[in-house]
């Protein structure tokens, strides 16, 4: 899932101060699961902003709404009246949701980010999420034991570890596991170490992360 983290309250307060009528818009999927932008988090943020406004003697109308997904037009459109009536929308979705709500609502609609979008990750345990994918395209997990060297190796190496790892830990931080040690251990346990003999060519970043906005078109699903 996409993992996000709420911006500091002071930063949010400064962002929304110019607007008299504010809609705080939550997202009920990824950021709800990581407890950063769902219905509960919308309520908490709205309460905090109302208290700050009361302390400052400032009038600001704050409305709350949460939709299932801010990255999907069918969920945004039923909420368009609320969105367009507000002076600004404070989106508690990932960066995709912030941009797509603005795109669907029209160029006059101001949509502000309440979260910092961090990574694609997994929930390791209560309150801990860790990056597992960089969404870089051309997935090679089938030859790395299901462990992504782009997301989990500090240097994004494709063909084994650097010279800095020690004791299975990355040189950047003794608490970070060396991705290639993990790959080796998993392939060894499977009896598949021969897979490491295959040289993986450098990634063509032009066709993945730096080649402009990517798009997938499924003709079989188009109306």
Give the chain's domains with CATH numbers.
2-119 (3.40.50.2300), 136-204 (no CATH)
- Cβ contact 100:76 at 8 Å: yes
List, run by run, the mean pLDDT of 10-residue segments along the chain (223 residues): 96 97 97 96 98 96 98 97 98 97 95 96 92 88 93 92 92 93 96 92 68 74 79
CA torsion sign for 68, 101, 89, 4 is: positive
> Which of 58, 43, 65 lies closest to 13 in space, CA to CA?
58
Q: Which residues pair with 169 in a beta bridge?
A: 166, 177
Q: What is the pLDDT of residue 217?
A: 80
**Helix, strand, coil percent values for the chain (each to nearest 5):** 40, 20, 40
Q: What is the pLDDT of residue 138?
A: 82
**Which H or E run contains 111?**
strand 111-113
Could you count the other beta carbons within 10 Å of the beta carbon of residue 216?
A: 4
- Cβ contact 101:173 at 8 Å: no
Q: What is the pLDDT of residue 26?
A: 98
Instruction: Give the three-class secondary structure for 144.
Output: coil
Q: What is the pLDDT of residue 13?
A: 97
Q: Against a cut of 0.85, is the pTM above it?
A: yes
In the DSSP assignment, the letter for residue 210 is T
In the DSSP assignment, the letter for residue 69 is -
Dihedral over alpha carbons 105, 110, 115, 120 (to 10 degrees): 40
Integer angstrom CA distances of residue 112 from 10, 96, 106, 140:
14, 12, 14, 36
């Amino acid at each position: 899932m996409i993992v996000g983290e709420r911006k500091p309250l002071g930063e949010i307060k400064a962002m929304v101060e110019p607007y008299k009528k504010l809609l705080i818009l939550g997202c009920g999927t990824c950021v709800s699961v990581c407890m950063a932008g769902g219905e509960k988090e919308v309520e908490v943020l709205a309460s905090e902003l109302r208290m700050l406004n009361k302390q400052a003697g400032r009038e600001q109308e704050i409305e709350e709404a949460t939709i299932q997904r801010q990255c999907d037009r069918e969920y945004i459109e039923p909420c368009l009246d609320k969105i367009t009536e507000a002076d600004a929308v404070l989106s508690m979705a990932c960066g995709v949701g912030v941009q797509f709500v603005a795109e669907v609502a029209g160029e006059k609609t101001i949509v502000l980010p309440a979260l910092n979008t961090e990574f694609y990750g997994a929930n390791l345990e209560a309150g801990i999420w860790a990056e597992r994918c960089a969404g870089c395209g051309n997935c090679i997990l089938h030859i790395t034991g299901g462990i992504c060297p782009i997301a989990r190796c500090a240097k994004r190496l494709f063909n084994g570890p650097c010279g800095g790892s020690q004791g299975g830990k990355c040189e950047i931080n003794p608490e970070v596991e060396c991705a290639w040690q993990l790959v080796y251990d998993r392939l060894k346990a499977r009896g598949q170490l021969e897979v490491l003999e295959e040289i993986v060519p450098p990634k063509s970043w032009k066709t993945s992360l730096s080649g402009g906005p990517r798009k997938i078109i499924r003709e079989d699903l188009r109306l």
